């Protein structure tokens, strides 16, 4: 067991963890934050589904590929930390409005990827958005509406779109 201290959704946590635990395991099984999904489990060393993407120190990362013991001092943001209380984040609202949500299983990872992208670049081109989604799978909607949602969110966050 190892003792680590890291920030999760704005709150510092001190945890006793096993060396083998992934960040995904800690998020879902230890902290009970089940918004982050898992679509591959043990099978891939790289490549994968992207459903488990969270933001670690400002970067979108697959939480299944991060060892918990490397997290000392890290700042982790999961889907549960994106909305401001009752108020949805503009990216979340854009996903709803653009029809980017279908079965919803890939959605949390997609929202986190979009947030990491837009936090750095509020004017991505469509190709930059598509490149950003390269490690994600959306089997229901073929990415189309998700790409549109991220571009819509960027417009709104730049203040160019009237709605919201």
- Minimum Å distance from CB 64 to another protein? 11
Instruction: Return d(Cα 37, Cα 105) in angstroms, integer.
Output: 7
User: How big is the CA angle at 63 (ends 58 and 65), to the nearest 5 degrees?
Assistant: 115
| Site for another protein, rule CB under 8 A | 28, 33-49, 51, 78-80, 82-83, 88, 92-93, 95-97, 99-108, 111, 127, 129-131, 133-134, 136-147
Q: Which is nearer to another protein, 42 or 72 (CB)?
A: 42
HSE, side-chain direction, 13 A CA sphere, residue 86 = 0
Q: Which is nearer to another protein, 15 or 83 (CB)?
A: 83
- Minimum Å distance from CB 63 to another protein? 13
Q: Which residue has the tokens 């990216």?
A: 91
Q: Which is nearer to another protein, 5 or 18 (CB)?
A: 18
- Asked if residue 129 lies in contact with residue 150, where contact means CB atoms within 8 angstroms, the answer is yes
- Minimum Å distance from CB 35 to another protein? 2
Q: Which is nearer to another protein, 72 or 121 (CB)?
A: 121
What are residue 86's phi and psi, to 5 degrees?
A: -75, -20
- Minimum Å distance from CB 99 to another protein? 4
- Asked if residue 155 lies in contact with residue 68, where contact means CB atoms within 8 angstroms, the answer is no
């Amino acid at each position: 067991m190892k003792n680590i201290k890291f920030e999760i959704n704005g709150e510092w946590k001190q945890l006793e963890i096993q060396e083998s635990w992934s960040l995904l395991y800690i998020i879902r099984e230890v902290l009970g934050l089940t918004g982050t999904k898992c679509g591959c489990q043990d099978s891939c060393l790289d490549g994968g589904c992207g459903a488990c993407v969270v933001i670690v120190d400002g970067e979108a990362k697959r939480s299944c590929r991060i060892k918990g013991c490397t997290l000392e001092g890290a700042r982790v943001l999961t889907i549960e930390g994106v909305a401001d209380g009752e108020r949805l984040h503009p990216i979340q609202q854009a996903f709803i409005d653009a029809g980017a949500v279908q079965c919803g299983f890939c959605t949390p990872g997609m929202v986190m990827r979009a947030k990491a992208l837009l936090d750095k670049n509020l004017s991505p081109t469509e190709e930059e958005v598509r490149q950003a989604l390269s490690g994600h799978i959306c089997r229901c909607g073929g990415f189309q509406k998700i790409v549109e949602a991220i571009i819509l969110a960027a417009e709104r966050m730049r203040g160019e779109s009237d709605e919201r």
